[in-house]
Amino acid sequence: MPDDTPILLMEHISKSFPGVQALDDVTFQVNRGEIHALVGENGAGKSTLMKILTGAIPRDRGTIYLRGQATEIDSPGRAQALGISMIHQEPALIPYLNVGQNIYLGREPKGALPGFINWPILYAQARQQLGKLNIAIEPTTAVADLSIAQRQMVEVAKALSLNADIIVMDEPTSALSERETETLFNLMRSLKEQGVTIIFISHRIEEVLAVADRVTVLRDGQLVGVAPISEVDMGQVVRMMVGRELGEMYPKEEVQRQEKVLQVRGLSRGNELHDINLELYKGEILGLAGLVGAGRTQLARALFGIDLIERGEIWIDSQKVRIDSPQKAIALGMGFVPEERTSQGLFLGLAVRHNITISALDKVSRLGFVSLREAARLAQDYVSRLAIRTPGLQQKVRNLSGGNQQKVILARWLSLNPKVLILDEPTRGIDVGAKAEIHALMGQLAKQGVGIIMISSELPEVLGISDRILVMREGRIVAEFRRGEASQDEIMLYATGGERNSDRQKA
Amino acid sequence: MTVKRLDSLVEVLRRFNVFLIFIGLCVLLSLLSRDFLSLSNLLNVALQTSIVAITAIGMTFTMLTAGIDLSVGSIVALSSALSAGFIMKQGIPTYLAMALAMAVGAGLGAISGLLIVKGRLPPFVATLAMMAVGRGLTLVYTRGWTIPIMLREFTFWGAGTIGPVPVPVVVLVVVFVAAHIVLSRTRFGLHIYAVGGHQETARLAGIHVDLITIMVYVISGFTAALAGIITAARLYSAQPNVAAGLELDAIAASVLGGTSLFGGVGGVGGTLVGALIMGVLHNGLNLLEVSSYYQKVVKGIVFILAVLLDLYTKGRK
C-alpha cells in the first residue's frame, strides 16, 4: 500500500462511567490491512474502546481519525456506513431467517413489483459473497440451524457485503472448537490479503501470537503498550496484561485445615465441565480463577443444582449427596451468591428486610403466618452485624449501593447458616471501601467454619484472599496453588492455555 | 426413553405441524358422526371459522413481531356497530359505511401501535386498554341496543353465497392469499420477521422498526374490522356484545398454527389450519351434542395444549 496513513487512529480517548474510569487517555492506532490484536484482562477497557469505535457509546474526550480524517461516529448505523463492522461473541443474526435474508437484510434486491423481493438475485448474490470467503453454506439455510462458528462466518460475509474494511471481532473464538478456530483464522488471513483490516479482541494469548500482526495491551483503562507480534512472547504479553503490584488490601487470616466439608469427584456436564475434582475444607476460602467462559460459573451452577450434572459425585460432610435443585442444595447447607447481583440475587423492588428474610421465613413463621416482628428483628440483626448502610429496613434494595446490595444477599444466606458458600464475582462493580468490608466478612465467615468458594476474575483478589486457588480453563481444572505459591503471571499462563502441560498440578 | 419419544413426537408435530392434527381430527369426527363429512356441514365449518380466521390472520402479524393484539374482539364489535349504524342510522351509502368502519378499525390499530412504539407500552397493556376503549365506544354508539340491518347489499357479505360457497369464506381466502404473499414474498413481510427475531439487528440493518410495528397493528385492526362487518352482515344485526373473547380464539389459532408468542416464527398458513382445527372441534362437539358449557372447557384445554407445545418446542432450541 502506498498510502501509509493509519486506517484508524483513536487519540487520547477517555471514558468514565459512574465510579469507574473505564478509559484514561488511550491512543489506539491500526494500520491498513493488518490484524491487530487488542488484549487485556476483564475490565481493562477493550470493550469500551470498541463500543466507542462502533458508535454504541459516546466518548468523553479524544478524537477518532478514520483514514486520516477526524470522524464522528455517533451511532452503530453510522459506523456501519463508514465501513466499520463488529462481529460479536454471540452473532447478532436473526435466527429464523435464512442466511441470504440475513446478509441482505434491509438491502434486499427489488423485485418486479414494488415492495417485492427478487429472491433469485438475493440468493445468487449471497452465494457469491459466501463463495468469495470459501464458506460452504447454502444461502437458504436457516440461521437457527447453523453452529456459532458458521454464524460468525455469515456475519463476516454480511460485513463484507456492506463494504466493511474494518472488522472488529470481539472474542470470536470463545465458543469455537479448535478446528473451527483454525478455519476462522484462515478466513481472517484471507481477509487480510483482500486488504481488510481486522481488530481482534481475545483473551487467549496463544491465538493472538498465532494470527495477529501487532498487539495493543490495555490494563485498567490505560494503554500499556503496542508491539509487533514478532517482538514479543507469551510471557511478555501476560506481564503487560497483569503487571501491577499486589496491594495490602486483602487481609486473610491463615486458617488451619480442618475436615472436608465438600468433595467433588469426576463431575462432568456436556461441553461445559469436564472431570472436575475438588475438595473444600471447613473455614477455607477456595479461589476459582480463570477467564470468562472457562466454566467457573457453570461449575457453581452445577454444584448448586441449577444445572444438572451428567456424571460425577458430590459429598457434603462425607455424605454422598445428589443435588438436583437449588432447594436441595439449600437444604444441604449450601448458599450461592450469583454474579448477576441485580437480576439473579435480589428483589430490587422489595424492602431490605424482605430481601434478607425471604429464604428464612420458616424460622420466623408460626402455622404459615410470618411474624412481622420477628422477621424485622432477624433483618435488623443482620443489618447491624454486616454494617449494611441503609436508611431503614423498609428501604427498597434498588436504592442501596452495590456493596450494600451485596451485603444484603450475604445476609440472606447467613440467616440460613450455610456450610458452603459459593460467591460468584462477589466484588465486581463494588467500590474499594465496600470491597474490603466484604473481604473482611468473608474472612470472618471462614473463621466461623464456613467453606467458601470464590469465583473472581480479579487476580489480586484471588491471590490475596484465597487459602487455595484452582485455575479453570475450558471446563477443566488445570492448576492448583496453595496460598502464597502462585503469582498473577503463572495463573494467567494456565488460564490462557499458555502452559501446555495442563496435567501438571501443584498440590 | 419416554422423554425421547415425546421429543420426536413434538418434532413431528412441529414439522408437519398442525396439519396432521387437523386431518386426524377430521378422520376422527367423520367416524364419530355421519353428518360431519357432508358438503353442507364442511361449508358450515368454513363459514363459522371465517370470522375467527380473518381476525387471527391479523393477530399473526402482531405476534410475528413478538406483540399481541387483545383489542380485536372489541374492534369486531365496534366495526359491526359502526357499519350497520352508519347505514341504518346515518344513512351513509353501504360501501362508504363499510370503508369507514374498516378505517376506524385500522385507525385504532394505529393508535395501539403508536402507544407501543412511541409510548413504549408493552403490547399487552396498550391493546388491553384499546380492548376496553373499543368495547366502550361500541356501547356508547349503540347505547347498548342491537342495530338490525336487512339491507341485501350489506347482508350479502355475511349471509350471501357465491355458487355454493358462503361469501365470508371467499373473503377469508382473499385475505389469506394476500397475507401469505405479503409475509412470504415482500420486503415488508421479511422485515416483520426480522423485527420479531432480533429487534436490534433489524434496527442496525436500517429497517424502520417503529413503522413496521405500527403497521402490524394497523393490519390487525383492519382485519378485525373486516371480520366485524361480516359478523353484522351474517347476523342481520350489530350486537354490542358480539365477539367478546374472540381475541383468545385468534391467539389460540395463531399459536396452534405454530406462530410463536415470542415473535419471529410462524405464518398465516399455520394460522388458517389452527383456526380450522378450532372450527372443526366446535362443529364436531356440536354434532356430538356436547353441551356448549363443556365446549368452553375443551376450547380452554386446547389453548393450553397449544401454548405448552409452543413453549416446549421453543425451550429445546
pLDDT tens for residues B39-51? 889 999 999 999 9
Query: What is the average per-residue pLDDT within A447-451?
Result: 90
The answer, yes or no, to whether residue B314 has pLDDT greater than 60, is no
The answer, yes or no, to whether residue B160 has pLDDT greater than 80, is yes
Query: What is the average per-residue pLDDT within B225-252?
Result: 95
Residue A300 near residue A456 (C-beta atoms within 8 A): no
Closest CA to A402 of A383, A423, A428, A384: A428
- The confidence band for A506, taking pLDDT boundaries of 50, 70 and 90, is very low
DSSP letters of A64-86? EEETTEE----SHHHHHHTTEEE
Comparing CB atoms, the residue among B185, B207, B317 nearest residue A116 is: B185
pLDDT digits (tens, 9 = 90+) for A256-281: 667 899 999 999 998 889 999 999 99
A36 vs B206: CA distance, rounded Å = 29
Residue A7 near residue A83 (C-beta atoms within 8 A): no
Reduced to 3 states (helix: H, G, I; strand: E, B; else coil), residue A37 is strand
- The confidence band for B12, taking pLDDT boundaries of 50, 70 and 90, is low
Comparing CB atoms, the residue among B187, B198, B265 nearest residue A108 is: B187
Q: Where are the alpha helices (DSSP H) in chain B?
A: 2-15, 17-32, 39-64, 72-88, 94-117, 123-142, 152-159, 167-185, 187-197, 199-204, 209-235, 246-256, 268-287, 292-315
pLDDT digits (tens, 9 = 90+) for A189-241: 999 998 999 999 987 788 889 999 999 999 888 999 999 999 988 888 888 88
- Alpha-carbon distance A94 to nearest alpha carbon in chain B (angstroms): 5
Which grid coordinates belong to A22? 473505564
B264 to A80: CB separation less than 8 angstroms, yes or no: no
- Alpha-carbon distance A322 to nearest alpha carbon in chain B (angstroms): 21
A118 vs A104: CA distance, rounded Å = 12
Contacts of A311 (CB under 8 A, 6+ apart): A266, A267, A268, A269
The answer, yes or no, to whether residue B134 has pLDDT greater than 50, is yes
Helix (H) or strand (E) holding A154: helix A148-161
Q: What angle do CA A328, A332, A333 make, to 5 degrees?
A: 120
The answer, yes or no, to whether residue B275 has pLDDT greater than 50, is yes
Test mutation, A96, A97, A148, A151, chain B, max B CBs within 10 A: A96
- Alpha-carbon distance A453 to nearest alpha carbon in chain B (angstroms): 31
Between helix B72-88 and helix B39-64 the angle, nearest 10°, is 110
For residue B198, list chain A residues with Cβ-Cβ distance below 8 A.
92-95
- The confidence band for A253, taking pLDDT boundaries of 50, 70 and 90, is low
The whole-number pLDDT of residue A423 equals 94
The whole-number pLDDT of residue A76 equals 84
> Above 0.85 for ipTM, yes or no?
no
Query: What is the average per-residue pLDDT within A288-304?
Result: 90
A359 vs B13: CA distance, rounded Å = 41
Contact residues, chain B to chain A, C-beta under 8 Å: 185-188, 190-191, 193-194, 197-198, 200-202, 204-207, 264-265, 317
Contacts across the A-B interface (CB distance below 8 Å) = 60
Residue A310 near residue A269 (C-beta atoms within 8 A): yes
DSSP letters of A265-315? EEEEETTTEEEEEEEEETT-EEEEEE-TTSSHHHHHHHHTTSS--SEEEEE
For residue B197, list chain A residues with Cβ-Cβ distance below 8 A.
94-97
Sheet holding A285-290, edge to edge: A334-337, A420-424, A451-455, A285-290, A468-473, A476-482
Name the DSSP letter for residue A204: -
Residue A170 near residue A119 (C-beta atoms within 8 A): no
Q: Closest chain A residue to B267 measured between Cα atoms? A: A96
Closest CA to A124 of A139, A137, A111: A139
A105 to B193: CB separation less than 8 angstroms, yes or no: no
Which grid coordinates belong to B58? 391479523
The answer, yes or no, to whether residue A486 has pLDDT greater than 50, is yes
- Alpha-carbon distance B313 to nearest alpha carbon in chain A (angstroms): 13
The structural domains of chain A, ordered by start, are 8-242 (3.40.50.300), 247-333+418-507 (3.40.50.300), 350-416 (no CATH)
Range among A483-487, B168-172, B181-185 with highest mean pLDDT value: B168-172
Residue A379 near residue A357 (C-beta atoms within 8 A): yes
Count CB-CB contacts under 10 A for residue B20.
13
Residue A158 near residue A137 (C-beta atoms within 8 A): no
Closest CA to B148 of B85, B101, B100, B98: B85
A226 vs A235: CA distance, rounded Å = 15
Contacts of A254 (CB under 8 A, 6+ apart): A467, A483
Closest CA to A393 of A365, A356, A430: A356
For residue B211, list chain A residues with Cβ-Cβ distance below 8 A.
none
Burial class (CB in 10 A: 0-12, 13-18, 19+), A259: exposed
Contact residues, chain A to chain B, C-beta under 8 Å: 76-77, 80, 92-97, 101, 105-108, 111, 115-117, 119, 144
A94 to B198: CB separation less than 8 angstroms, yes or no: yes
Beta bridge partners of B211: none
A397 vs A349: CA distance, rounded Å = 7
For residue B180, list chain A residues with Cβ-Cβ distance below 8 A.
none
Residue B211 near residue B217 (C-beta atoms within 8 A): no
CA-based max dimension of chain B: 68
The answer, yes or no, to whether residue A19 has pLDDT greater than 80, is no
Residue A338 near residue A345 (C-beta atoms within 8 A): yes
Name the DSSP letter for residue A98: B
Domain B17-312: assigned CATH number: 1.10.3470
Residue A164 near residue A124 (C-beta atoms within 8 A): no
